[in-house]
Amino acid sequence: MTSLVHNEMLKLLRKKRLYVIILIIAFLVPLFTYAQFKQIQTAAEKLGTDDWRTRLQQEIVDTQNRLSSSRIQDEWRKFLKVRLTQQQYYLDNDINPQAPGAPTFMRVFAENSIDLLLPLLVMVVAADLVSSEASGGTIKLLLTRPVQRWRILLSKYLALLLSVSFIVLMVGILSYLISGIVFGYGGWNLPLLTGFSVQGDELVTNSVHMVPQWQYILMEFGLVWFVCVAVGTLTFMLSVLLRSTAAVMGIMLASLIAGAILVNMVSSWESAKYFFMVNLQLTNYVSGMALPIEGMSLGFSMAVLAVWTIAALVISFVVFTKRDVY
């Protein structure tokens, strides 16, 4: 099996997929770093102070002002309320959730890329893992070896897991290294609050506790990885089912974007919570953001993703081992 995985990794590497992804990340991170830097700068300019308490207080007031506007949607209002309570909680406990520093940037970057950017990157690798062999005809040579089909597929899946992990790790490392140039490399021990949960409009804080940022980041990256594996597995299934890599990418792209849109408007459509793509923002549960749909929780979302992942794996293996190859 190791030599099979070796083969798959070799092919992935030679197709330059991983390099392209690293390049994309290396290009995007400075962009966001600069944006964040600018944001901090303008905020400081506007308030005439770089004291984070004043800034956070200002944010709270801004939120309150938005809440009092009558033209605000109910979902948005709920979100803002939760946000408000949380900000107030940070303020009351004298914790700066946005303390600048490379680890903070890393965390915020991961939180913001979990539902679209990272799944897209994973998709680039997963989409043609099987379909390119089918469209390139090399599958005929691959399947006429003295190796069972399920082993070949498993080696491909393991290669996918490895490269997904590699991508997530690269996101972490690159965002840390690059943003550190601007924000400095410290801040691993910054205390952060987690354990917020939302019931209705209320933010429940009884299980809120403090964790150091490094642990927080490790947990969030674990969740990011989980999401990437789920998205990767679904793409993998499509790659098994379809010959055309473009079709795989198209379907995946459409559902991811649909997910990003749905999250903002499904609060009244309850059964939408069983879609995998509205459950991608796992990190929001850790940081205590409002949920798109009533009744969702970290456990629920992880379960939904796990079910989709397992179903996709079963379908992939059954189809791949039974299918006639023309």
Partner 1 sequence: MTMIPALQVKDLRKTIKRKEIIKGISFSLYPGEVFGFLGPNGAGKTTTIRMIVGLIKPTSGTITIGGKSVTSQFTEAMKHLGCIVENPELYPYLTGWENLEHFARMDKSIPKTRLNEVIELVGMDRRIHDKVSTYSLGMRQRLGIAQALLGKPKVLILDEPTNGLDPAGIREMREFIRRLAREEGLSVLVSSHLLSEIQLLCDRVAIISKGSVIRTDTVDKLLAEQERVIWRVSPVDRAMQLLSEETSVKEGLDGTLITLYDSEQVPVWNKKLIEAGISVSEMKTQLPSLEDLFLELTGGETID
Partner 2 sequence: MKKRTLPVIIAISSFSVLLFLFGLGWAVKDQLVDTHSELQPSTKETAGNTEPSAKKDNKITVAAIGDSLTRGTGDDNGKGYVGYLIEQLKKKSGSSIAVANSAIKGERSEGLVEQLKQPQIQRQIANADVIVMTIGGNDLFRGGEALQSLDTNSIEDSRIQYIKNLEIIYGAIRKQNPKAEVFHVGLYNPFINMQESELTTAIVRDWNFAAAESAAKFEKVVYIPTFDLFQLRAEDYLYSDQFHPNAEGYKLIAERVASLITVQEEGKTK
- Give the residues lining the site for partner 1 (CB under 8 A): 3-4, 6-7, 10-11, 14-15, 136-138, 140-148, 322, 324-326
b (16+ CB within 10 A) / e for 141-160 = ebeeeeeebeebbbbbbbbb
Per the CB < 8 A criterion, the answer to whether 153 and 321 are in contact is yes
CA-based torsion, 274, 279, 282, 284: positive or negative: negative
Rule CB under 8 A: which of 264-303 touch partner 2?
285-286, 298-299, 302
User: Between residues 41 and 138, which has the closer beta carbon with respect to partner 1?
Assistant: 138
Rule CB under 8 A: which of 176-235 touch partner 2?
193-195, 205-211, 215, 218-226
- Interface residue with partner 2, options 56, 122, 125, 237 (CB under 8 A): 56
Structure-block tokens of residue 60: 């709270």
- Residue 145: contacted member of partner 2, partner 1, none (CB under 5 to 8 Å, by partner type): partner 1
- Residue 148: contacted member of partner 2, partner 1, none (CB under 5 to 8 Å, by partner type): partner 1
Q: Does 3 bind partner 2 (CB under 8 A)?
A: no
Q: Does 253 bind partner 2 (CB under 8 A)?
A: no
* 207: exposed, middle or buried (Cβ count in 10 Å: 0-12, 13-18, 19+): exposed
**Candidates 61-69, 73-81, 238-246, 312-320; binding stretch for partner 2 (CB under 8 A):** 61-69
Q: Does 135 bind partner 2 (CB under 8 A)?
A: no
Rounded to whole angstroms, the Cα distance separating 157 from 251 reads 20
Q: What are phi and psi of 210, to 5 degrees?
A: -105, 135
Q: For the CB of residue 82, give the shortest distance to partner 1 in the complex, in Å.
A: 50
Q: Does 20 bind partner 2 (CB under 8 A)?
A: no
Q: For the CB of residue 226, give the shortest distance to partner 2 in the complex, in Å.
A: 5
Per the CB < 8 A criterion, the answer to whether 135 and 197 are in contact is no
Structure-block tokens of residue 321: 């081992």
Rounded to whole angstroms, the Cα distance separating 114 from 230 reads 12
Per the rule left: phi > 0, alpha: psi between -120 and 50, beta: everything else, 288 is: left
- Residue 264: contacted member of partner 1, partner 2, none (CB under 5 to 8 Å, by partner type): none
Rule CB under 8 A: which of 88-107 touch partner 2?
88-89, 91-95
Give the residue carrying structure tokens 């979990």: 114
Q: For the CB of residue 166, give the shortest distance to partner 1 in the complex, in Å.
A: 19
Cα diameter, the chain: 72
Tally of residues, the chain: 326
Task: Give the chain's radius of gyration (CA, Å).
Answer: 22
- Residue 161: contacted member of partner 1, partner 2, none (CB under 5 to 8 Å, by partner type): partner 2
In the complex, the residues that contact partner 2 under the rule CB under 8 A are 5-6, 9-10, 13, 18, 47-49, 51, 53-54, 56-58, 60-61, 64-65, 68-69, 88-89, 91-95, 161-163, 165-166, 168-169, 193-195, 205-211, 215, 218-226, 285-286, 298-299, 302
